[in-house]
Structure 1
Amino acid sequence: MSLLPSPRSSAVRQPWPLASSLVIALAALLVLVWLLSSLADLNGSPVWFPLPLHIAVETFSIVVAALVFAVAWHSQQPVHRSNPLLACAFLAIALLDLAHMLSYRGMPVWVTPASAEKAIAFWLVSRVLLALTVLAVACRLCHRSIALPRVLLLSSSLGLVVLVVYLQLFQPQLWPRTFIDGEGLTRFKVQMEWLIISLFALAAWVFWRAREVADRDYFEGMLAATLVSILAELCFTAYSSVNSFYSLLGHLYKIVSYGFIYQVVFVSSVRAPYARLAIEMGERIAAQQRADYMAHFDSLTGLPNLTQLEERTRQAMASAFKLKGAVAVLYVDLDHFKMVNDSFGRTFGDQLLCTTSVRLQQVLPDSAMLARAGGDEFVVLLADLENAEGASAVIQLVLDELAEPFMIARQQIVVSISIGVAVGPNDGMDFPCLLRNAEMAMYKAKEAGRRTWCYYNAALDTEMRGRLYLINGLRLALEREEFFLEYQLQLDLASGRVVGAEALLRWQHPQWGLVAPGQFIPAAEQSGLIVDIGEWIILEACRQAASWQAEKLNIPRVAVNVAAMQLHQGSLEQTVAAALAQTGLPASSLELELTESSLVDNTEQVMIALAGLKALGVTLSIDDFGTGYSCLAYLRRLSVDTLKIDRSFVSDLPNEDGHAIVAAIIHMAESLGLNTLAEGVEDEATAVELRRLGCRQAQGFFYARPVPASALPAAIASLPV
């Protein structure tokens, strides 16, 4: 039975409590024997340790010592560089113990007759060698000295045994007396035992001080072996007969100490490496399982990922070919998910995604497979459909289910989704093609107003390819200086004087010619390029306005349209400040036009941005006012100066409803102390009616068309009187 349990890991270990308990028990036994020795004649009676028992005990100790040699010699653990020293020492100890056993009183003649002194001589050398070895191991473990060559250690240990055997068998007169029959141990023998005890005690002290090192089991096991060896030596200082109970107890304690050392060497050299290997293999298998899971499942929702969905789609397509059926891939995207993340935090957004996945699974048929594509996007595979229209009922169920409010972290929230649908094999013969087409259809659904779904058709491919070409062209347009600005004059309706000019972006492509703003501006906004383009517009408009002032041209202000992305991405204030500083244009000569829709999202962030812009001194206006749906609720909080009445209302002015809307906007602006500017004024009657209603400013073809900056003097000269 092992004296020390094997460590399964560095975190699971408890050898020292067991070993210390055993050491304490053995010490208590020795004290008890000492107390009872006078009653039972444990010291002098020869009946306690007869020759056969001595042979059995020594044979066992020799076997254990040989095992220590075998295990430690073959150990190649660099952490325990003292194992070769321990191995060679125990080989010598095993041979010396064998010589001790053969020399014990009552054994046959071995060169010279067996005697107590002959046996004690081999015994003392063996014990001194063990004490010195244990002390050397303790010092080497603490100081990590350079290891000696194994062959040198082995030859030295064998040489020592040969020398001791020779001296004892052939030069016995050189040995001091150690035992006298009838008297017991000599003074030399007792002093040698106390010297051995001192060496063991010193080694125990070193082991105790170093027990907190990395391989604590090794140190504590060696400490236990050293303490038991001290107990054994105490027994050998007290007997008066080699066959006494003290001699038996000392031999048994010696076996226990050998057992501790064997256990330490075996655990550190054999069992612990195998245990570490098992742990590493287990960790590797667990890591592989995690990798396999991550390769096929989403870590947040636990849904299959696109890799697994592709495998399932391949199987479903094969079945559809055989049965002449169809499969549908639905690309599901949560509308305005970024706004949810920005408003409530990523943790809230993650909970929303998990809840969405659960609700989707509840309404999908058993044959369907739901996967997460990443971000706020999910993909559904509908297999075993009879035709393309078979997906419609499921899609409507999904839309209805997700239209219901969500309760996330005690917060009720309503979200909507946009769904794109591609049906195989008509819309694609493999998963990548179906996924791409379904995604295109999803973007088309978003363009249609969100909260809806759209089937893929071939026209989407052409449209998407054209949009891609357009975006690629936009990326190069700034570098190639293909953009330019035109300016449309803005007039005061009461006096007819020019109050400003609105900068309008134009794109002259070398192959496509003049690209319509309605075609490329949405693409710039969707691709994010509008931020860089917008920075160029602000800088160029400020440069041109500064030039007008230098030329004494009577255009007091330049107005620049600002996209929602510019307002929300957080650096608009720095962009404007840099442009004003670079061109020297007074801040009051710059007006920024913000769309009503850009003011609806991220209200608090917008308020901070507007306050920063107002602090610079620029003028702010709301473009296309009246086309939004929630601006009225917080219009009082906005730091704006002007409301621009949308051209759709101005053109509808002759009608009763249009007239009422324009009048209401003008009246509301007056009550809030805001200026009003009407867009799209194309005839004199409209201008007259706007002036009568109290509108202060206007722009439109009736006054001037957008023209390059160089044509503005002529445009001003030709204004209607």
Structure 2
Amino acid sequence: MSQAKSRKAKNIVFRRNRLSLRIAFITIISSLFSILTIELTYLNTSNLIDNYNKIIDVDYKDIEMMDAVMVSVYEHQAIIFHHMAEQKPDRKSELIKRAGEIENVLKENMKRFEENVHGTQYEAGYHDMFSLMTSYMKNVKMVVELSQEGDEQTAHYYMQTKLEPIVNGMNKHVKNMDEILQRDISELKSDMKSNTELMRIIARMILAALVLAALFNVSYCVRISNEMISRDLLTGVANFDQMIRVGERMSRSRRRNRLDMYSGLAISIKDFKFINQEYGSLIGDLVLKGYAKYLNDRLNKGEVLARNGGDNFIALVEKEHVDEFLSQIEKVPVEVGEKMGLTLTTRCGIYQINPGDTIYDAINAGLIAVDETRLSGTGDYVWFRQERRDEMIRRKEIISGYHKAIDEEEFVVYYQPKVNLKTRTLCGCEALVRWIKNGELVPPGSFIPVLENDGKVQELDFYVFERVCRDIGDWQRRGIQPVRVSSNFSKLHLHNKDFAKDVLSVVDKYGADPYYLEAELTESSGYEDLNALVYFVSEMREAGIHTSMDDFGTGYSSLSLLRDIDMDVIKLDRTFLRDQADPKEEKMVENIVRMIHDLNRHVLCEGVETEEQVDFLKRVGCTMAQGFLFDRPLTREEFEKRLINPYYS
């Protein structure tokens, strides 16, 4: 025992240290990520420099372009001058042609210059240049025309008084813009140097701050990890590991707060999963917080409440305080927001801790007891009974082996025939699931209730239904005439808003003919959620799938269910066959059968085992039966033979 305790203690320490390291690791990673971000910012500084350089390059190009314009203007002016001095007509034509080429270059340079400065502070300078260039070209045209007409004197006059001032003005304008561009370039270089240096300084400061913050976070997270490891992050109460530590400390105590002075309580919220389904996990979390606070506020000093995952809690409560505590938590009001409140019902398993018990003994006994509240139906508070331990172990084995059984197809579908009593012929069947485990047949009564209580029966129901749809299709393809097959669905499905849609999707998946399908639910389903059942039956009817009510007559409101739910088949419970010799019983059953027929529903009685029972059913007007008298549940292969030979002697 001491070795086991030592191992558990070491495991707790290991988990605590692992959490501390994990927090430190996450902090370091996040800090490194921040450092990387700063480095990327630092690298972006280079991009900033590049952008500045691009702007400067553009300004230099503007200067070069203006210089090119002026070179072209001077060259053009020189050609015009030569044209005026030239006497030979051929040579004059060549000069005019050359002047035209230079004019095209000037226009191209001016166009590029316009594109460069468009939308910038230099655009006004371009327009001034363009105005001068336009005036220059206009006067050039006049000089050329005068020269060609032979009026050299006037042409020289225009050259000296018009063109030269314009060219000088353009040259002066270019020099002014050159000075402006050079000044702007100088300012850009200065700004670039200042801004990049500032960014580097800021980046280094942030980097240093992040490194210091990372070091502080590592130190802080390591320091608080011990507290975090002991608390449930959602509700704020102790977690399971903390409960173990407290219990072990109490076990070592010799005087006050001994473990055997307490009772171990396993607590859960009744039907909490339906709260999650109805309102969502966010509301569910708020409910858990409110519920945990309510319980924790009603504990005395020295008592402990811990969350054990989901809606499950465990508590150590002084024995003298247990009865009062249980009375306080039977109904727990929880406020969720300003306009919503819920009243929760508590399930609780209680174990009075004895000298020599460990905290693990107390918790396990409490869990066994609280499980009994779900299964026995005797109440929401159950005190631990030793004889339940073996049964709970068996139930846990069923739950733990369920998924393996599904994956390896250990669950097998059997078919129990339904018989028309008038013709003694096969008229339908019920699909029943059997578990073949290690070559042996597990009785359905030993695993179906367990799976239903755990919620896994919903998956199993669809497992069976899929195989029914597959088998019907297979029989039709092979030329074997099927009969209508009823598949059982737990009442838990009614909490699923997409229940009908899920059923129809399976039918579509296998292409099964709805005529041969029947969905069977128990009478008690109507008490759980009548509206959901009515909706499901309506959807099935619209899709052409029959529905049936199993175990009719076992509830308290059977007649009202007949009125409210338009099912196709009503299955009388076998209890109707107990007193067939009693005339009053026979009359009562006869009237029930007649009423069902008057409502245009079919009647079938299950559990028929003798010919006397058959005669009784015929007398009361029930024409369909199911039971061992005709056939036990058959394997798929055996039922195929019955389909081929549907007659009973």
Deviation at 1:373, TM superposition (A): 1.9
Query: Which residue in 2 is equivalent to 1:697?
Result: 624
Q: Deviations over 1:313-372 (max 9, x none)?
A: 222222368868343221111111111221233333233223322332343333321122
1:487 is aligned with what amino acid?
A: Y
Contact 1:566 1:572 in 2 (8 A): no
* 1:311 counterpart residue number: 245
8 Å Cα contact 1:573/1:609 also seen in 2: no
How far apart, CA to CA, are the structure 2 residues paired with 1:667 and 1:404? 48
| Aligned match of 1:354 | 289
- Tell me the residue number matched to 2:383: 455
| Aligned 8 A contact 1:363 1:397 in 2 | no
Q: 1:520 aligns with which of 425, 430, 447?
A: 447
Aligned partner (choices 338, 341, 345) of residue 416 of structure 1:
345
Please state if 1:678 is matched with 2:608. no
**Bigger helix fraction:** 2
Deviations 1:578-617 (A, max 9, x none): 56764x6532122221223445556666666555544442
Q: Is 1:624 matched up with 2:551?
A: yes
Offset at 1:518?
0.4
Confirm whether residue 206 of structure 1 aligns to residue 214 of structure 2. no
CA RMSD, Structure 1 to Structure 2 (Å): 4.8
TM-score of the superposed pair, with normalisation by structure 2? 0.60
SS of the counterpart of 2:308? strand
Q: Is the 8 A contact 1:501 1:555 kept in 2?
A: no
Cα pair distance change 1:275/1:484, threshold 3 Å: closer
Alignment partner of 1:467 is 2:395? yes
* 1:706 correspondence with 2:633: yes
User: Matched residues in 1 for 2:39 and 2:462: separation?
Assistant: 65
- Normalised to the residue count of structure 1, the TM-score between the two structures is 0.54
Q: Give 3-state SS (helix, strand or coil) of 1:681's partner.
A: coil
Shift of 1:275: 5.2
Q: Give the conservation status (yes or no) of the 8 Å contact 1:577–1:616.
A: no
Distance 1:411 1:478 in 2: 41
Distance between the aligned counterparts of 1:662 and 1:689, measured in 2?
10
How far, CA to CA, are the matches of 1:320 and 1:657 in structure 2?
70
How does 1:2-13 map onto structure 2 within 5 Å? none
Deviation, structure 1 residue 468: 3.6
- C-alpha contact (below 8 Å) 2:306/2:313 kept by paired residues: yes
Q: How far off is 1:692 after superposition?
A: 4.9
CA distance in 2, matches of 1:79, 1:508: 63
Aligned-partner Cα distance in 1 for 2:554–2:500: 24
The answer on whether the counterparts of 2:347 and 2:380 sit within 8 Å (CA) in structure 1 is yes
Structure 1 416/554 Cα, relative in aligned 2: closer, same or farther at 3 Å? same
Identity of aligned residues (%): 24
2:263 corresponds to 1:328:
yes
| Structure 2: tracts of 5 or more residues without a match | 1-37, 54-182
Q: Of 413, 437, 445, which aligns to 1:509?
A: 437
8 Å contact kept, 2:334–2:341: yes
Report the residue type matching 1:350 in the other structure. Answer: D
How many pairs were matched up? 479
1:404 CA drift (Å): 5.9
- Tell me the distance in 1 between the aligned counterparts of 2:492 and 2:41: 65
* Alignment CA distance shift 1:412-1:600 (3 Å): farther
Residue 28 of structure 1 aligns with which residue? none
**Aligned twin of 1:641:** 568
1:339 to 274, 281, 289: 274
Q: How does 1:655-666 map to 2 (within 5 A)?
A: 662=589, 666=593
- The 1:492/1:415 distance shift into structure 2, 3 A limit, reads farther
3-state secondary structure, aligned to 2:486: strand
Cα offsets for 1:388-434 (capped at 9, x unmatched): xx575246324xx3336656454554432221234445684244x43
**What one-letter code is carried by the residue in structure 2 that aligns with 1:712?**
R
Deviation at 1:382, TM superposition (A): 1.9
Moved more, 699-708 or 273-282: 273-282
Q: SS of the counterpart of 1:325? A: helix
Query: 1:413, 1:629 → 2: CA distance?
Result: 28
Q: Unaligned 5+ residue runs, structure 1?
A: 1-76, 83-137, 147-197, 220-263
Which whole-Å CA distance do the structure 1 matches of 2:355 and 2:584 have between them?
48
Q: 2:426: which partner in 1?
A: 498
Distance 1:279 1:455 in 2: 53
Contact 2:587/2:620 (CA < 8 Å) preserved in 1? no
Counterparts in 2 of 1:207 and 1:565: CA distance versus 1, 3 Å: same
Tell me if structure 2 keeps the 8 A contact 1:405–1:414.
yes
Deviates more, 1:358-367 or 1:404-413: 404-413
Asked if 1:429 is matched to 2:363, the reply is no
